[in-house]
């Protein structure tokens, strides 16, 4: 594999730019917006609540902000597709509005746990009803007076943290969230980018109501979660050298680089710069002989979305890789531990799932049939595995790649991964 590519914009920042731009005073311009289904679901939700949004045209979006108190009730339930980020962050924001809202999603999202945001929001005074077992749909009653909360999160989650901070924009007094391990901090950075004061001390982020968001210009960096597929691909394909341009290297997201380097990957950061409060660099990756490692638990929350393709790296590494402390992977778009293990076993890789992780013994990989269970990251991970498989891999049930990476197949073709889409029956 060789060449230089630019992966699509960061999904997390794309979501948040629409949310904060809608609540800001003035017109916000966004460049590099990810036109994937998840971020488009957030965009549509704010259109449904009366915000005028132009675009996206080639990643450019213009948002005519309505201010913190300018949203209107959507005409019906707000449908968020596959996007857990949209549902969790919006629940915090909508808990503080003067109108009722109903949030729904597709079959996959409807299985995901929402009590982790509903419970602390209720502690702030929100009235939120969930479906059975704390799952969607969420019914949020408007007109509640929220009170600030000092919340210690039982489990590291950027979505829960962000949801509470968004509710805190409207809550009486101060809202602070303390996390047990670092998670992505795009919400804190972007709030500041919109001129809203946010305090961060150690593991605690806090803000008080009473300020306004001012429109700004946002340039969304390339998504490191998307870059990860190509970091692993170039590492495992002999003789490769690839340059990934303009990738976000926020320290709360670079766990995948740290883990690959511990395995022996040759990845260097070039031309580091800061764009809109977010660190960005070009990533150069060359093929390297990877070795199995015990993945440090401190890096797990910093690479949580990248594990499907990291499992492929482990399968191609010499020796044993052990992951622990990653039970969060079992409640993603699919049970990513089990689904990846099933796929790797189908390709002849020795691996053993554990309650909170997996043990993978690297070795030769055959071809075969794997099932992505509708999970975009699993479909893309097995596409990368094909570089080292002795025979073709057929990946079933992968229509969802568009949720995070709409031009994945085009970029694969550009750098030399041979993936073809078969007709959907």
**So which residues are the catalytic ones?**
305
Q: What is d(CA 397, CA 403) in angstroms, rounded to the nearest whole number?
A: 14
Q: Would you say 124 and 147 are in contact if contact means Cβ atoms under 8 Å apart? A: yes
| Locus of tokens 């797990």 | 300
Residue partners of 398: CB distance under 8 A and separation at least 6: 372, 374, 376, 378, 379
Q: What is d(CA 205, CA 28) in angstroms, rounded to the nearest whole number?
A: 25
Residue 409 φ then ψ, to 5°: -65, -35
Q: Would you say 45 and 78 are in contact if contact means Cβ atoms under 8 Å apart? A: yes
Residue 44 φ then ψ, to 5°: -65, -35
DSSP string, 300-363: SGGGGGGHHHHHHHHHHSBSEEEE-S-GGGGGSSS-HHHHHHHHHHHTT-EEEEETTEEEEE--
Range list of H helices, 263-335: 307-316
């Amino acid at each position: 594999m060789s060449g230089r590519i630019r992966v699509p914009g960061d999904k997390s920042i794309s979501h948040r730019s629409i949310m904060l731009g809608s609540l800001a005073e003035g017109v916000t311009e966004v460049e590099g917006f990810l036109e994937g289904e998840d971020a488009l679901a957030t965009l549509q939700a704010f259109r449904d609540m009366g915000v005028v949004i132009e675009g996206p045209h080639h990643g450019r979006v213009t948002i005519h902000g309505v201010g913190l108190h300018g949203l209107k009730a959507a005409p019906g339930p707000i449908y968020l597709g596959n996007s857990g980020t949209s549902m969790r962050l919006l629940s915090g924001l909508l808990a503080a509005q003067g109108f009722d809202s109903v949030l729904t999603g597709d079959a996959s999202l409807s299985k995901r746990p929402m009590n982790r945001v509903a419970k602390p929001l209720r502690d702030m005074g929100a009235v939120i009803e969930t479906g059975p077992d704390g799952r969607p749909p969420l019914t949020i009653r408007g007109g509640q007076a929220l009170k600030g909360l000092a919340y210690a999160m039982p489990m590291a989650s950027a979505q829960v943290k962000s949801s509470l901070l968004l509710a805190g924009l409207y809550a009486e007094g101060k809202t602070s969230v303390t996390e047990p391990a670092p998670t992505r901090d795009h919400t804190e950075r972007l709030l500041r980018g919109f001129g809203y004061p946010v305090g961060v001390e150690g593991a605690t982020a806090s803000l008080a109501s009473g300020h306004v968001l001012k429109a700004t210009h946002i340039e969304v960096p390339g998504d490191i979660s998307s870059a990860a597929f190509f970091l692993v691909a170039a590492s495992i394909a002999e003789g490769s050298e690839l340059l990934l341009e303009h990738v976000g290297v926020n320290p709360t997201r670079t766990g995948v680089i740290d883990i690959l380097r511990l395995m022996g990957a040759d990845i260097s950061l070039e031309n580091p710069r800061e764009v809109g409060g977010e660190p960005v660099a070009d990533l150069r990756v060359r093929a390297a002989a990877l070795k199995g490692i015990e993945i440090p638990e401190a890096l797990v929350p910093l690479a949580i979305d990248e594990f499907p393709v990291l499992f492929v790296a482990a399968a191609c590494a010499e020796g044993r890789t052990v992951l622990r402390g990653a039970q969060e992977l079992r409640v993603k778009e699919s049970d990513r531990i089990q689904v990846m293990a099933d796929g790797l076993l189908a390709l002849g890789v020795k691996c053993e799932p554990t309650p909170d992780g997996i043990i993978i013994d690297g070795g030769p990989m055959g071809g075969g049939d794997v099932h992505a269970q509708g999970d975009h990251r699993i479909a893309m991970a097995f596409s990368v595995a094909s570089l080292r498989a002795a025979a073709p891999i057929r990946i079933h049930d992968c229509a969802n790649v568009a949720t995070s990476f709409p031009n994945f197949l085009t970029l694969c073709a550009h750098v030399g991964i041979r993936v073809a889409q078969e007709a959907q029956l």
